[in-house]
């Protein structure tokens, strides 16, 4: 009887691990599409007016996180869980989730979109894909997560592939502030790594769907009341000008995609741990190249193709055997 119970628990853990892997892969797919579409939105009126180097991308980032928060709230209300927002905000874990929202939203997301604006979506994705290595290291230090040699190797391989994708600068003068964008993408990587560690710690006693809902809502409010006022009146001019443009509605749709990515990422971190979830999510660099080719006519150079293959290999190594994770969780 005891053996049967143990076997049943192992089967449940295996199913849990497999679902976590699925959520991690979905997060990468959606984030790659999200970044490509946001690059297209930033090329539309009023974000392409050139009035300010920083105002337009930051306004777009605020709208993106605002719509993502709205879609996540609608989802949680439909599940009958809107009261969980208030309950969670009264807990100690909420402080970590709110801090994660600052690092991942106004810092991480802003620098990511500024990177896309100054260096392009594919190159920014290649640089920000370094965040799993930072997150895995921080997770091992602060969350005491054990990183197997295989998982660590898979993450590093995927990151190498991401850098292969973007190591060749774009030709021409399309991105005159290219290296500024690369620097901002590096800051985004650090912000997202810290977010992953803090949010995973906060989700010890908080459901991941509620955690990401609070994260996105807090991020939008930080943009609206702190970030945009610091930029100045021009930011609000761009914001109000965007309300009557197709770009506004495009970002509303992108917010749904981004919200799905965030939701999937938080679920994956809760189910599989920081390092493995980040290793799966890093596939967004691959999807960014694919959607750039499909939607924007991105030229498929040899380094792009080689990098994509390396990312795929790294992802397979990272996923490994789900039974390994299930056995670790059951001990």
pLDDT of residue 3: 57
User: Which tokens is 3 given?
Assistant: 């053996």
pTM to 2 decimal places: 0.84
pLDDT-based confidence at residue 52 (cuts at 50, 70, 90): low
pLDDT of residue 225: 95
Dihedral (CA of 90, 93, 95, 97) sign? negative
Q: Cis link prior to 117 (omega < 30° from 0)?
A: no
As a whole number of Å, the CA-based R_g of the chain is 20
Phi and psi based region of residue 146 (left: phi greater than 0; alpha: psi -120 to 50; beta: remaining): beta
Decide: 235 and 118 in contact? Cβ < 8 Å: no
Give the CA angle between residues 291, 295, 299 to the nearest 5°: 75
Position with higher pLDDT, 163 vs 319: 163
Residue 315 has pLDDT above 80, yes or no: no
pLDDT of residue 48: 86
The chain-wide mean pLDDT, for the chain, equals 84
pLDDT-based confidence at residue 28 (cuts at 50, 70, 90): very high
Of 31, 112, 84, nearest in space to 213 by CA: 84
**pLDDT tens digits, residue range 247-287?**
999 999 999 999 999 999 989 988 887 777 877 888 888 89
SS (H, E, C) 242-301: HCCCHHHHHHHHHHHHHHHHHHHHHHHHHHHCHHHHHHHHCCHHHHHHHHHHHHHCCCCC
**pLDDT tens digits, residue range 59-111?**
999 999 999 999 999 999 999 988 899 999 988 888 988 999 999 889 998 99
pLDDT-based confidence at residue 235 (cuts at 50, 70, 90): very high
pLDDT of residue 117: 86
Give the CA angle between residues 275, 277, 283 to the nearest 5°: 110
pLDDT of residue 136: 74
Hey, is 147 helix, strand or coil? coil
pLDDT-based confidence at residue 328 (cuts at 50, 70, 90): very low
pLDDT of residue 331: 45
Q: Rounded to 10 degrees, what is the CA torsion of 64, 251, 35, 195? A: 10
pLDDT of residue 184: 92
User: Which tokens is 93 given?
Assistant: 């874990």
pLDDT of residue 158: 79
Burial class (CB in 10 A: 0-12, 13-18, 19+), 216: buried
The count of residues in the chain is 331
**pLDDT tens digits, residue range 163-205?**
786 666 666 666 677 888 888 988 998 899 898 888 878 887 7
Q: Cα–Cα distances in Å, from 168 out to 12, 123, 270, 308? A: 46, 9, 36, 14
């Amino acid at each position: 009887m005891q053996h049967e119970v143990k076997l049943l628990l192992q089967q449940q853990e295996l199913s849990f691990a497999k679902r976590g892997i699925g959520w991690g892969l979905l997060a990468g797919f959606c984030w790659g599409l999200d970044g490509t579409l946001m690059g297209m939105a930033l090329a539309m009126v009023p974000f392409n007016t050139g009035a300010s180097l920083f105002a337009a991308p930051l306004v777009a980032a605020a709208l993106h996180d605002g719509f993502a928060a709205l879609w996540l709230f609608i989802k949680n209300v439909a599940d009958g869980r809107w009261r969980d927002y208030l309950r969670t905000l009264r807990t100690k874990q909420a402080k970590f989730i709110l801090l994660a929202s600052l690092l991942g939203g106004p810092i991480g997301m802003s620098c990511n979109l500024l990177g896309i604006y100054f260096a392009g979506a594919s190159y920014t994705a290649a640089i920000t894909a370094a965040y799993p290595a930072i997150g895995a290291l921080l997770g091992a230090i602060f969350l005491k997560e054990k990183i197997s040699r295989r998982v660590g190797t898979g993450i590093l391989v995927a990151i190498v592939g991401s850098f292969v994708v973007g190591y060749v600068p774009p030709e021409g003068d399309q991105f005159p502030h290219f290296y500024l964008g690369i620097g901002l993408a590096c800051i985004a990587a650090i912000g997202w790594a810290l977010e992953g560690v803090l949010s995973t710690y906060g989700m010890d006693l908080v459901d991941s769907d509620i955690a990401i809902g609070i994260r996105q809502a807090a991020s939008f409010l930080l943009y609206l009341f702190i970030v945009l006022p610091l930029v100045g009146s021009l930011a609000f001019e761009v914001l109000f000008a965007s309300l009557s443009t197709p770009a506004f509605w495009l970002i509303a749709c992108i917010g749904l995609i981004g919200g799905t990515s965030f939701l999937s990422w938080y679920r994956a971190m809760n189910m599989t741990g920081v390092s493995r979830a980040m290793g799966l999510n890093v596939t967004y660099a691959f999807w960014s190249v694919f959607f750039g080719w499909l939607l924007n006519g991105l030229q498929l150079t040899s380094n792009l193709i080689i990098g994509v293959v390396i990312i795929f290999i790294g992802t397979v190594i990272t996923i490994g055997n789900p039974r390994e994770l299930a056995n670790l969780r059951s001990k």
